[in-house]
Amino acid sequence: PDGGMSNATELGFEAVAVSTANSVVVPTGYTAKAFLPWGTPITGSYPAFRADASNSGADQEQQVGMHHDGMHFFPIDFKAGGSRSDEGLLVMNHEYINQSALHPDGPTYTSNSMRPTDEVRKEVAAHGVSVVHIKQDGAGNWDIVFGSPFNRRITGNTEMDIRGPVRGYQKLSTRFSKDGTQTRGTLNNCSMGLTPWGTYLTAEENWHGYFANGSATPPREQTRHGVGSASRYDWELAEGGDDQYVRFNITPTAESAVDDYRNEANTFGYMVEIDPFTPESKPQKRTALGRFGHEGVIFAPVEEGKPVVCYSGDDSRFEYIYKFVSSRPYYAATASGYLLDEGTLYVARFNEDGSGDWLALALDDPAFMARVEAAQGTMVGDVQFEGFENQADVLLNTRLAADIAGATPMDRPEWGAVDPNTGEVYFTLTNNSNRTEEQVDAANPQAENRTGHIIRWSEGSSDFAATSFQWDIFVFGGTQGTETVVDGEVVVSLTDENIFNSPDGLWFDYNGRLWIQTDGSDAPPYQNNMMLAANPATRDIRRFFVGPQGCEVTGVVTTPDVKTMFVNIQHPAKDWPFGNEGDHPRDATVIVTRNDNGVVGA
Ligand code: FEO
Ligand code: CA
Ligand code: CA
Ligand code: CA
């Protein structure tokens, strides 16, 4: 972008009204079209989608998964330093599933309460990530490049390596990987991150729900996340005892951990690196970035010879925001995933005076060690704390380490974004109805926060590796008249052009406009979930897009020229997007373009 930041980030469209329609609403002069709905064949024998949802598990392994979430568009010439906007790889997450919609008549159980194996196979395959090679035709329409070697499905059963400090730790030993270096699958992939070297990181968010532990005293690395005695989809009940489904039962059954799956859940909760340009590459779980309910990750701009810095939120009530700073310096010529394997993980403390501190979670950090020693033998939350074995144990129990460090419990940190013009870091705090008056603080100032807010900060001396920062609140969600006040001045007062609640997805486009997506109450006055655009320089915020009924709007990216925008619709209701009699709802990507082929949002 050229100079004049507020020009480049000015909003040039008329806000759309709230909507209850079962269709997408975009401003006058724009067109929206559904693309890559759940079940679209992208690999192998390209099995056609069956409208009655009767495709098999094997078919689903070759089709786009369900519940689209975070995504990124990689220009096809990315590796050569190019920025083609007419062809690329669209990589997207499939967070979870709607079991009723995935099968013709929902999930079924047999008389002994087991589940038909192919149903479970299909559910596992509808999770994970899709890599889709797409290209515009002469008329500007986007299509899949059929037969492209880049098209790929990664599922809840794809083999992956564990990397970083937790690799090989005995608490990751399983029957599948006795030495704790590998696992199968990535699950509940919410938001994502783009690395400076052009790979995709997918986040494992609510992974705890996939496992069942029937033992009376589950270990702290499970209890702190809420692993229970029953799993969300009962995959461990697949008939036939196939090892790939048995592993979801993490109740200890054998003498030793190398003979059962008691540690399987310890191989989830990470950021997972996928190289979309190397289709045969194995995904890599990057444990140095911590283990928690990762929503996504956002990288700070890189500089030659400086560390790589990235931020990740833990989306659960009263959880934290983290920052990773690599030990090794970034050099464009040699940068790759190894940079994410050694470094310091910090957690944020937001002080009442608008300053903040990054607290290291490292056994070689004296301040952290002092707190660990003080906590020894005490109750930390529900955990009787008896120390950490080593740094791998700290990372495996990242939430517990952050509790001990004295981090600030936040109102459900979801996506982050870095302003390309100013370097300020923004995070959505989606809501937290459980916060009491006694628990209110300056960064989370609302009791029973149902509508959420967006916080932002600048790092000390504009050095992303700094251990202190200055923060303020960018905007509060809410009804008409909700004010955001800075230094006694009302900087935003919401109107019917921009009321919203529960900000979740967040992305700066390549010109520096901020896109805010919602996943909240779809009752009046907000109606269906939406996406707004913001000018960060002026806090002018306008509703740009409203999703269909029942959905959340999550995942947004554009082509480098910002003329094609991709927006994901997750868990739509009824017969969206095609509206044919008897259709199952299908998550899909929506392509938004300007009818005059201009820049989206300008
Ligand atoms: Fe998957 Fe926190 O949203
Ligand atoms: Ca979601
Ligand atoms: Ca989310
Ligand atoms: Ca959410």
- Extract the tokens encoding 400: 């517990």
- Extract the tokens encoding 73: 């568009």
How far is the CA of 57 from the CAs of 63, 119, 596, in angstroms?
A: 10, 7, 42
Residue 538, pLDDT above cutoff 90: yes
pLDDT for position 460: 83
| Angle formed by the axes of helices 366-375 and 398-405, nearest 10° | 100
What mean pLDDT do residues 122-148 have?
97
pLDDT for position 421: 95
ipTM over 0.90: yes
Q: How confident is residue 493, by pLDDT bands cut at 50, 70 and 90?
A: very high
What is the three-class DSSP state of 247?
coil
CB 408 within 8 A of CB 429: no
C-beta of 205 in contact with ligand 1 (< 6 A)? yes
C-beta of 341 in contact with ligand 1 (< 6 A)? no
pLDDT per residue over 296-313, tens digit each? 999 999 999 999 999 999
Q: How confident is residue 359, by pLDDT bands cut at 50, 70 and 90?
A: very high
- Distance between Cα 592 and ligand 2 center (Å): 20
- Mean pLDDT of all residues in the chain? 97
pLDDT per residue over 563-601, tens digit each? 999 999 999 999 999 999 999 999 999 999 999 999 999
How far is the CA of 1 from the CAs of 309, 381, 420, 421, 560, in angstroms?
A: 23, 48, 10, 9, 11
Burial class of residue 60 in the structure, from the number of CB atoms within 10 Å of its CB (0-12 exposed, 13-18 middle, 19+ buried): buried
Closest CA to 589 of 79, 47, 66, 76: 66
Q: How confident is residue 6, by pLDDT bands cut at 50, 70 and 90?
A: low
Q: How far apart are alpha carbons 189 and 204 in whole angstroms?
A: 5
Q: How far apart are alpha carbons 223 and 307 in whole angstroms?
A: 34
Q: How confident is residue 3, by pLDDT bands cut at 50, 70 and 90?
A: very low
Tokens 């109606």 found at = 527
What mean pLDDT do residues 163-182 have?
98
pLDDT per residue over 241-263, tens digit each? 999 999 999 999 999 999 999 99
Pairing of strands 200-204, 189-194: antiparallel
The vertex-17 CA angle with 488 and 23, nearest 5°, equals 135
CB 546 within 8 A of CB 533: no
Counting from 1 in the atom list of ligand 1, the atom nearest the Cα of 188 is: 1
C-beta of 315 in contact with ligand 1 (< 6 A)? yes
- Distance between Cα 123 and ligand 1 center (Å): 19
What mean pLDDT do residues 184-206 have?
98
C-beta of 295 in contact with ligand 1 (< 6 A)? yes
pLDDT for position 5: 52
What letter would DSSP give residue 8? Answer: H
What distance, in Å, lies between the first and last C-alpha atoms of the chain?
13
